Structure formats: C-alpha cells, structure tokens
C-alpha cells in the first residue's frame, strides 16, 4: 500500500511505522489518521512481524491533531463535531495498538504533544530521546485531553501529577517522564536510534504470544480484584503452557542454552 503521510517498513520480524509529516511536526490530519489505521491492519496481518516500532520523522514524534485540517474547521458557519474525530480516528488507533498481536515500542524522538502523548503511551514500551518532551497542550486551546491521555496519565502518574500536567500544560522533559514512571527510559540523543533498534530486535526474538498476554494481564489488573486477576493469570498460563515457545523455553533451560523462540 502506498502512503503519503506515513512510512511502513518490514525488516524481517520488525515492523517500523513512521509518522512522516516533519514540516507539520507529524501532526495528525484526516488522511494521516486513515493511513495509520490501514498500517496497523497490515501489521496485524503480516505473519512475520513480531514487534512494531512507532516513531516520527524530523524533530517531533507527534504534535497531536492538526488544527488546520478541514475536519477541525467550521463549514458555512457551522462548528465541526470534533468529538467525531476522536471517535473515528483516535479511539480505533489507540485500541488498535492496545490489541495488536505483537508488542509495540514508542520511539519518542522529539516533541510529543496533545494526542501525540496518548499515541506514545498506548504502546507497550515507550523510550524517549533525552531532548524529547511531553506536553498536554489541550487547556491552551480550551479543550480537555483525548487519545486516552486522561486514562494513561492517571494510571501511570496518579491523579495529582496527571491533573497538574493536563491543567497547567507545562512541558514534561523526557528525563522527568522516566523518573515519574510515565515511560520506560530516556536515552542520549546520539545513542537513541541504536538503542531502539536493539530493543526491537530483543522483543522480536522473544515469545510473542507471552508478551501480548502479559500486556493483556496488566490491562486487566487495573479493574480486577486479586481473585479475578489470579484466575486471569491461570487462564493465560494454561494457554501459553501449550505453546511451542514454552516448550522451547523449558527445553533450553534444561539444556543450559539460549532459547530460540518463534512466536508460536
């Protein structure tokens, strides 16, 4: 499939999805949103893919919704239903990332603002360049956060820090984001690309089904009681215990060698 505003590349077991509107700080217009959903579908159905890396081109990761997009403009004096943009585009993309059959990495190479924050946090692991920062800019234009930001921020940071970030719209440097537990880690800019590449290859070589079930178990734990979570864990472990990767893992452990997982 030919894309105009994104790039999708498959390198053996690694899928790389790049937002490619650097002149617009990789902001999301209607066309870009449609391309992102199509790209996720391609990754979902690509048999060889075992990890997805999501990043941005140029100096930004993603600046959120493009406010100049026609979907955000008045039509003959009638104000647009911008909530429909969230329902039509952002909600399915965030849920698509959360339900993808492979683990996901957000490689935050620069600014992540507005909905770009939610996009980054919807991935399983977020790694940011030292110079990157996060910005909940919604209050600056009279909106409340979207793209899952209110959920991700409160879950990871607690209500006090989430509220401060959302209401005051202050920049959160990547290093502090890591210290607060919003993201996995920060990396020096010069080592950023190589670090992300190593992480992608590491995840691609691991038991894919077990990683995805780990994501799902963590998600379920947010609303489950301990008893419910123990049952969920038993269900997942039972299923994974019949997988080829588990059999290989146990055999490799007994033979004192590195396992060779196939994602099956």
Same domain, yes or no: 229 and 130: no
For residue 242, is it within any domain? yes
Same domain, yes or no: 176 and 217: no
Who contacts 210 (Cβ-Cβ below 8 Å, separation ≥6)?
Answer: 240, 243, 245, 246
Q: Is the pLDDT of residue 1 over 80?
A: no
Q: Is the pLDDT of residue 63 over 80?
A: yes
Among the listed residues 221, 204, 200, 199, the one whose alpha carbon sits nearest the alpha carbon of residue 263? 204
Same domain, yes or no: 100 and 72: yes
Per-chain mean pLDDT for the chain = 96
- Kindly state the percentage of the chain with pLDDT values over 90: 93
Same domain, yes or no: 168 and 235: no
Domain containing residue 163: 6-204
Sign of CA dihedral 136, 177, 218, 163: negative
Same domain, yes or no: 140 and 242: no
- Which phi and psi (to 5°) does residue 114 adopt? 55, -125
Same domain, yes or no: 93 and 20: yes
Q: How many domains does the chain have?
A: 2
For residue 260, is it within any domain? no
pLDDT at 72: 87
Same domain, yes or no: 25 and 141: yes
Q: Which of 204, 223, 238 is the last residue of a domain?
A: 204
For residue 264, is it within any domain? no
Q: Which of 168, 186, 204 is the last residue of a domain?
A: 204
Same domain, yes or no: 76 and 163: yes
Token digits of residue 243 = 């997988």
User: What residue has token string 């290859």?
Assistant: 201
For residue 261, is it within any domain? no
Same domain, yes or no: 118 and 31: yes
For residue 126, is it within any domain? yes
Same domain, yes or no: 183 and 54: yes
Whether the full predicted model's pTM is greater than 0.85, yes or no, is yes
For residue 41, is it within any domain? yes
pLDDT digits (tens, 9 = 90+) for 111-141: 999 999 999 999 999 999 999 999 999 999 9
pLDDT digits (tens, 9 = 90+) for 79-106: 989 999 999 999 999 999 999 999 999 9
Class of residue 30 by CB neighbours under 10 A (exposed 0-12, middle 13-18, buried 19+)? middle
Same domain, yes or no: 65 and 82: yes
Q: Which of 204, 225, 241 is the last residue of a domain?
A: 204
What is the domain-level CATH number for residue 115? 3.90.226.10
Angle at 105 between CA 88 and CA 128, to 5 degrees: 105
What is the domain-level CATH number for residue 215? 1.10.12
Same domain, yes or no: 242 and 145: no
């Amino acid at each position: 499939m030919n894309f105009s505003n994104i790039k999708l590349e498959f390198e053996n077991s690694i899928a790389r999805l790049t937002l490619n509107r650097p002149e617009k700080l990789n902001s999301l217009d209607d066309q870009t949103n449609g391309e992102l959903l199509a790209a996720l579908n391609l990754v979902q159905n690509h048999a060889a893919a075992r990890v997805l890396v999501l990043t941005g081109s140029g100096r930004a990761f993603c600046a959120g919704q493009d406010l100049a997009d026609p979907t955000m403009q008045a039509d003959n004096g009638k104000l647009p239903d911008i909530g429909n943009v969230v329902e039509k585009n952002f909600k399915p993309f965030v849920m698509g990332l959360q339900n993808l059959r492979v683990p996901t990495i957000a490689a935050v190479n620069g600014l992540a603002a507005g909905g770009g924050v939610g996009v980054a946090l919807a991935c399983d692991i977020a790694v940011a360049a030292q110079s990157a920062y996060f910005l909940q800019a919604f209050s600056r234009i009279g909106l409340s956060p979207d793209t899952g930001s209110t959920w991700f921020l409160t879950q990871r940071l607690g209500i006090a820090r989430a509220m401060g970030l959302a209401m005051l719209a202050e920049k959160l440097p990547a290093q502090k984001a890591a210290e607060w537990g919003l993201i996995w880690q920060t990396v020096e800019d010069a080592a950023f690309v190589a670090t992300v590449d190593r992480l992608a290859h590491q995840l691609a070589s691991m038991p894919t089904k077990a990683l995805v079930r780990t994501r799902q178990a963590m998600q379920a734990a947010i609303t489950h009681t301990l008893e419910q979570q123990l049952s969920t864990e038993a269900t997942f472990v039972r299923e994974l215990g019949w997988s080829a990767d588990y059999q290989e893992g146990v055999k490799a452990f007994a033979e004192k060698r590195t396992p060779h997982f196939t994602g099956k």
